């Protein structure tokens, strides 16, 4: 019997098989869930190709989280494949390179606004768009990179993640009356396409394994994916507004 038998999960952010979202989708299927993916634009075809590497077929529906028409159409598009969602996984983030890599003081509002829109506001937008398909016991789970600290080179993406974490708490407040949980997983660094696009990201990941009491493998997305799916399951029914760390324990260590 799988942890997610009978569940249907919407997973965003699958691009390549190195994506954390890919491993979330793969493990979800292995644990008995039906998975629906989202993608958009030029990435859509890439997501379809990557989806073929999953253990079971997974449909891909159009969703640009910054497009109001796509958001309004999401529930109907998902209904073509299922009549409900037990969990929604937010694995979306983007900031122009001009506001990362050590150029914090030079950040222009137009670029910062893009980072906040895609990487923070989209959590609320996605939750509201998927809400018609969700009921009591459903879960929204997002991926963050601990915004308690000012990380090297992360710059305005770090600010966007701080907004993302605050957004999750407010969603937990406002969705709670409908029995919907909202939690985040603060992952350690994983070598994904998104991570490697951050100029100087090796400054963040360097030495993480040595600082982690449990150790840390930047090439292994499974620990993070497993934590996401635990929050999607029925095993944390009274947990909401929480940030669960899957980082080998680095967050709890002093310098």
Question: Element (H or E) spanning 128, and its range?
Answer: helix 122-130
Structure tokens at 98: 């001009």
| CA–CA gap between residue 149 and residue 23 (Å, rounded) | 27
CA–CA distances in Å: residue 113 to residues 119, 150, 218: 10, 19, 29
Residue ranges of the binding site for NAD(+): 13, 19-20, 64-65, 92, 161, 190-194
Query: Pick from 191, 108, 85, 104: which is nearest to 156 by CA?
Result: 104
Which residue positions form the known binding site?
A: 13, 19-20, 64-65, 92, 95, 161, 190-194
Q: State residue 12 phi and psi, 5-degree precision.
A: -95, 160
Tell which residue, 48, 54, 12, has the closest CA to residue 143: 12
* Cα four-point dihedral sign 98, 100, 103, 104: positive
Q: Give residue for tokens 């990487």.
A: 119
- Give the residue ranges of the annotated binding site for substrate: 95
């Amino acid at each position: 019997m799988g942890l997610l038998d009978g569940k249907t999960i919407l997973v965003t952010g699958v691009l390549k098989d190195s994506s954390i979202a890919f491993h979330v989708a793969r493990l979800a299927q292995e644990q008995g869930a039906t998975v629906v993916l989202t993608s958009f634009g030029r990435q859509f075809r890439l997501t379809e190709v990557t989806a073929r590497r999953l253990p079971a077929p997974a449909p891909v529906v159009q969703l640009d989280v910054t497009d109001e028409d796509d958001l309004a159409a999401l529930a109907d598009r998902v209904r073509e494949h299922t009549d409900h969602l037990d969990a929604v996984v937010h694995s979306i983030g983007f900031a122009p390179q001009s506001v990362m890599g050590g150029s914090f003081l030079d950040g222009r509002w137009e670029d910062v606004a893009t980072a906040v829109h895609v990487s923070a506001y989209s959590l609320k937008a996605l939750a509201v768009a998927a809400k018609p398909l969700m009921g009591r016991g459903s879960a929204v789970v997002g991926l963050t990179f601990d915004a308690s600290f000012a990380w090297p080179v992360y710059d305005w993406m770090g600010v966007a993640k701080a907004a993302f974490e605050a957004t999750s708490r407010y969603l937990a407040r406002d969705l709670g009356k409908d029995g919907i949980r909202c939690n985040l997983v603060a992952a350690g660094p994983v070598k994904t396409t998104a991570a490697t696009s951050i100029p100087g990201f090796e400054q963040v990941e360097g030495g993480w394994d040595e600082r982690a009491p449990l150790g840390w493998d930047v090439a292994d997305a499974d620990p993070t994916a497993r934590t996401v799916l635990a929050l999607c399951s029925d095993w944390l029914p009274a947990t909401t507004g929480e940030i669960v760390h899957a980082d080998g324990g680095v967050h709890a260590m002093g310098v």
